């Protein structure tokens, strides 16, 4: 986390909002049957500097899950054009006009595309995430996110680097796990091929 003097501007930065979107999508769209809990969502929001008291309640979770489900296709888009199409639909159908706010002087000026400063959590989450992902797409000229290619992981992520090559894994851990698995498969296939050759001789 950046130093305290920059905390407010960092909290409203495009990258921070995009990373928060990915982390919330991962918590709210988990593939296992156990639904996300309020404390998990709260932990993510606090990690990204949302002001206390949050005022988040269990009844907010279904709307947040629905918003996360609407955002996931943006991360899953195959290329920049597909990501832009997904974002354009969300921006046209689910967000309001662009406005600037300080939340009554409580923060630095920053953009919003939700209805107002007291919009419901799901509306705020979807709108702020769309805005951040759209700006990242614009700035980088590529899809703003991805879905981990590891068979053992379904997490979405926001690439940090500036390279043009599309990142395939959400973390080094997933990339390493897949390399090790591929190496083991190759060795097993080689052993099987060697065994087959000795049988046929």
Helix (H), strand (E), coil (C) string for 122-148: HHHHHHHHHHHHHHHHHHHCCCCCEEC
CA torsion sign for 146, 40, 36, 20 is: negative
What is the pTM (predicted TM-score) of this model?
0.83
pLDDT in tens, 105-125: 988 899 999 999 999 999 999
CA torsion sign for 105, 107, 108, 111 is: negative
pLDDT at 7: 58
pLDDT at 33: 66
pLDDT in tens, 60-74: 999 999 999 999 999
Q: How far is CA 102 from the centre of its chain?
A: 25
């Amino acid at each position: 986390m950046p130093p305290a003097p920059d905390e407010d501007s960092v909290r409203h930065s495009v990258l921070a909002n995009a990373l928060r979107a990915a982390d919330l999508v991962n918590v709210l769209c988990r593939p296992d049957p156990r639904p996300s809990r309020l404390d998990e969502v709260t932990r993510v929001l606090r990690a990204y500097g949302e002001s206390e008291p949050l005022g988040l309640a269990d009844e907010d979770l279904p709307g947040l899950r629905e918003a996360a489900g609407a955002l996931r296709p943006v991360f899953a888009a195959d290329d920049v054009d597909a990501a832009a199409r997904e974002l354009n639909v969300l921006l046209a159908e689910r967000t309001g006009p662009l406005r600037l706010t300080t939340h009554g002087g409580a923060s630095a000026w920053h953009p919003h595309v939700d209805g107002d400063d007291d919009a419901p959590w799901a509306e705020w989450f979807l709108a702020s995430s769309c805005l951040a992902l759209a700006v990242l797409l614009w700035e980088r000229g590529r899809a703003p996110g991805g879905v981990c290619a590891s068979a053992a992981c379904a997490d979405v992520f926001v690439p940090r680097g500036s390279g043009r090559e599309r990142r395939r894994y959400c973390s080094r851990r997933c990339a390493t796990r897949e390399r090790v698995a591929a190496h083991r498969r190759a060795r097993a296939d080689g052993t099987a091929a060697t065994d087959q050759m000795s049988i046929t001789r």
